């Protein structure tokens, strides 16, 4: 999706929904190639919580995390290092600027962390980018192949 089309805002709304509306403890993480970038979606969600009276009276808002004490849910930005992501158990993971990720390490670590969450969502935000060998482009090509097979009922890679 092109720049300035409210991708981060939509992701922040989804993060707040998971924080207070889903049943049970929810762990929501935002990740990107830098902590500053990961904070964009987090800060949008945090700001929404500060400005919304119904949200503000339900959540605990801190500088680096937002929690929902009723079910011990957590919203937090993560540094783009697999070591900081290993051991997480996200119910919702938001990967921002996916086209800038040099590899699939962060995406894969979040995806693996969702193993215990059958309804976990991995939400990637990106623009087209220019790197034709990025993890994002590989993911895009894979998705296109799945769609092509669904439409044509054949495998384009088979002889």
Note the pLDDT of residue 157.
Answer: 58
23 part of a folded domain: yes
User: Could you read off the pLDDT of 84-122 as tens digits, one per residue?
Assistant: 777 788 999 998 887 777 788 888 888 888 888 888 999
* 144 inside domain: no
CATH number, domain with residue 104: 3.40.50.300
Give the residue numbers spanning the domain of 68: 7-129
Judge whether 16 lies within some domain: yes
Q: Is the pLDDT of residue 25 over 90?
A: yes
- pLDDT by residue (tens digit) across 137-147? 777 777 788 88
Q: Does a structural domain hold residue 93?
A: yes
pTM for this predicted structure: 0.82
More confident site: 31 or 98 = 31
Report, as an integer, the average pLDDT of 131-153: 75
What strands lie across the sheet with 92-95, from one edge to the other?
A: 60-61, 66-68, 73-78, 27-31, 92-95, 121-124
Task: Please identify which residue in the block is written with the tokens 């904070």.
Answer: 39
Q: Where are the alpha helices (DSSP H) in 22-134?
A: 35-51, 53-56, 82-85, 105-113
Look at residue 145 and tell me if it is in a domain: no
143 domain-assigned: no
What is the model's pLDDT at position 159?
47
The CA-based angle 114-71-8, given to 5 degrees, is 55
Report the 10 Å Cβ neighbour count for 128: 12
Please indicate, yes or no, if residue 154 is contained in any of the structural domains: no
In a domain, 88, yes or no: yes
pLDDT digits (tens, 9 = 90+) for 63-82: 999 999 999 999 999 977 66
Q: Which of 4-8, 9-13, 46-50, 102-106 has the lowest mean pLDDT?
A: 4-8
Helix (H) or strand (E) holding 128, with range, is none
Ramachandran area for residue 97 (φ above 0: left; ψ -120 to 50: alpha; else beta): left
Looking at every residue in the chain, the average pLDDT score rounds to 84
Count: domains in the chain:
1
| pLDDT confidence bin for 128, thresholds 50/70/90 | low
């Amino acid at each position: 999706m092109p720049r300035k089309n409210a991708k981060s805002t939509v992701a922040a709304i989804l993060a707040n929904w998971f924080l207070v509306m889903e049943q049970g403890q929810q762990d929501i993480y935002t990740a990107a190639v830098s902590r500053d970038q990961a904070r964009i979606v987090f800060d949008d969600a945090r700001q929404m919580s500060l400005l919304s009276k119904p949200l503000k009276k339900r959540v605990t808002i801190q500088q680096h995390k937002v929690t929902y004490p009723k079910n011990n849910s957590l919203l937090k930005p993560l540094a783009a290092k697999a070591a900081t992501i290993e051991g997480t158990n996200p119910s919702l993971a938001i990967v921002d600027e996916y086209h800038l990720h040099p590899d699939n390490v962060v995406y894969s670590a979040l995806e693996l962390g969702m193993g215990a969450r059958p309804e976990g969502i991995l939400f990637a935000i990106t623009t087209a980018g220019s790197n034709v060998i990025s993890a994002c482009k590989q993911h895009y090509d894979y998705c296109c192949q799945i769609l092509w097979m669904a439409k044509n009922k054949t495998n384009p890679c088979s002889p």
